[in-house]
Chains A and B, each alone.
Chain A
Amino acid sequence: MDLPLNSRDALDRFLAGVERPAFKMANFASRNTDEALDLVQEAMFEFVRRYWDRPQEKWKALFYRVLQSRITDWHRRTLVRRRILAWVGRRDEAEEREDPLERLADSASPTPYDQVARQEEMRALEKAIRALPLRQQQAFLLRAWEGMDVGQTAFVMGCSEGSIKTHYSRAIHALRGLLEDSHS
């Protein structure tokens, strides 16, 4: 079973379209650039290995399902690691360490003065999204950013539609509060 050329091109286009939102989602969850890149890499490899021959209209939901599953696994592992480190009395150095890439200036886009306010808003939003519990964060980003409906989001997150509605509603409520606090 060969990988046809048109499938390769379609896969390339698809992955190019989702790689950045996927990275941002992973980065929101992990708060670390390297961890986020690892998560995206694992999701990409698993997706192309298992689902490349599925219909293209299902790729998006399948890719995000793999990614969210990886993020959830990572989150569980991190919680266990933190508990063990807390038990032995050590701090998680990986968590404490600041990501140097966050401080790197972006040479691709200039930063004029009129964008400062927008960057402040962006920082406040990212901080608010990161403050959300993982499931709320996932439900919110998939629904509000990726534009998935409740059914698709439930498939991606592997839970019921009722849970998605609850997570999403709580996320909106929490974000509104957090953003209002940051502006006040």
Chain B
Amino acid sequence: MKTVLHVEQLSGGYSPKRAIIHDLNMEIKEGEMIGLIGVNGAGKSTTIKHILGLMTPHRGVVTINGTTLEEDVELYRSSYTYVPETPILFDELTVEEHLRLTAMAYGVPQEQFSQRAEQLLERFHMTKKRKAISAHLSKGMKQKVMIMSALLAKPSLFIIDEPFLGLDPLGIRSLLEDLVEVKQAGSAILMSSHILSTVEHYCDRFMMLDQGRIVAQGTLQDMLQQASQHSQQNVTTLEDAFYAMLNGGEA
């Protein structure tokens, strides 16, 4: 399978003198969903910002579909869509206009946009809100707009930061169903989340970050095995593995 995201020896942070993430290596292939997990301040969002190209790395290389940001900005950016942790919308745009704006930016053909937008609005129970101005939406609805916009563009890589925050159970289910669908269609997904009980059923592999370093990675089985060895206990869930690895060896 083709590699979509390739991160090599990535170090970086807000200050050029102090790195927050250190020598990260990761690879995501087509049709893979990777869970990026770690406590607050572990470096998950910083890693994501480096991949997005919002921060300049101190060291290392990030490529999406073999292209770096420096080589071709437009090609690099058109390869991913991003759902931020906190919904960032243009206050004056309606839900429908947001979708249209994203589709225009990503060069989605108009017929495809109309059809896909209808499907997404229906799936996320937002049809009645299509003409609503973003500033007047609830946090959960704003998050749905972010997710719909990301799904609309159908890129090779989805970068999703804490997608479940503010979503109702129906929204969470719709999102997960859609993620499975895009994964099956061959897109790669990098998702950061604290809802471990949910992501353990959906992600193919996990990367656990602590203080900017990868402390464990692999499939769920690999993670449970590593945690069991680390804590000398029988670890059966991702949540327990998380505690075991990051809580002084206690599951």
A and B pair up: no
